Amino acid sequence: MRKNIVAGNWKMNKTVAETEQLVADLKSKLQDVDNGARVIIAPSFVSLTTAVTAVKGSEIEVAAQNMHQEANGAYTGEVSAEMLKSAGVNTVIIGHSERREYFKESDELLASKVDAVLANGMEVIFCFGETLKDRKLDNQLLEVGSQIKKSLFHLPAEAWKNIVLAYEPVWAIGTGETATPEQAQEMHKFVRRIVSKKYTDELADDISILYGGSVKPNNAKEIFSKPDVDGGLIGGASLKADDFLAIVNGF
């Protein structure tokens, strides 16, 4: 079943102590929210175990922002699926545009990361999106279609129950510029269509597709109201408990 989700991508922000504090704030503020949405936070690697302990007693879930595709070995500075699992993490964000851009993660590499997450029985939040250049050339559907095909279309149908998609137009991330609700809806509908063509209508209909890119308390409701938008992946606004709470209340 498709679920509404709000996921906070904390990026390279918050110390361990600050993580504890923010989770405590979120926990008390989210207590009274009961709209059925999943609430996920993705702190940095070093704060994951602290976050996992701190969310106990609440419905908040903890995700990682990235992961290495190999099971173990000589990969200095990297973290494996098994390590994340042992820390109590069940969801991993893969393919964020900052990983693609700054760390040169290719569609092929992302496919192997997706495989590694799924092979460990965990869930993927898979990010995709076009650059400003693509959008100006009206190439966004082609570009997004290609990213999804190259990193996800090798998966068997049953693997999709552990996939959440996140449309993140690069030009809207951290820029204060948001895709209009219509632009988000157009892309989400397109993605659902290509997934249904490759697999089935039922499978496509069951996938949660999040929108990410300058979602704020003042625009969340309008974006989430679109039929193919099932929530958001939130960067900047996830770092303040009140803003994040207001976004969760956008359903």
Q: Which of 242, 249, 247 is nearest to 25 (CA)?
A: 242
- In angstroms, the CA 118 to CA 155 distance is 10
Rounded to an integer, what distance in angstroms lies between the CA atom of residue 228 and that of residue 83?
34
Question: In the complex, which residue's CB is closest to ligand PGA?
Answer: 235
> What is the β-pairing status of strands 61-64 and 91-94?
parallel
Selected catalytic residue, list 61, 96, 98, 130: 96
Query: Do the strands 91-94 and 123-128 form a parallel or antiparallel pair, or are they unpaired?
Result: parallel
Q: Exactly one of 68, 130, 168, 188 is catalytic; name it.
A: 168
> Near ligand PGA by CB under 6 A, which window of 37-45, 101-109, 140-148, 207-215?
207-215
Q: Is 214 in the site for ligand PGA (CB under 6 A)?
A: yes
- Name which position in 236, 241, 243, 248 contacts ligand PGA (CB under 6 A): 236
Does residue 65 bind ligand PGA (CB under 6 A)? no
**In terms of DSSP bridges, do strands 163-167 and 231-234 run parallel, antiparallel, or are they unpaired?**
unpaired
Q: Is 168 a catalytic residue?
A: yes
Q: Nearer to ligand PGA by C-beta: 94 or 173?
A: 173
Nearest to 88 by CA among 39, 122, 117, 38: 122
Of 169, 213, 231, 250, which one interacts with ligand PGA (CB under 6 A)? 213
Q: Is position 129 an interface residue for ligand PGA (rule: CB under 6 A)? A: no
Q: Is residue 247 involved in binding ligand PGA (CB under 6 A)?
A: no
The nearer residue to ligand PGA, 212 or 231, going by C-beta atoms, is: 212
Long-range CB pairs of 140-146, under 8 A, 24+ apart, other chains included:
140/169, 140/187, 141/187, 141/190, 144/187, 144/190, 144/191, 145/190, 145/194, 146/107
231 or 236: CB nearest ligand PGA: 236
- What's the min distance (Å) between Cβ of 176 and ligand PGA? 8
Query: Using the rule CB under 6 A, which residue among 60, 81, 204, 215 binds ligand PGA?
Result: 215
Backbone φ and ψ for 40, nearest 5 degrees, come out as -125, 140
Active site residues: 96, 168
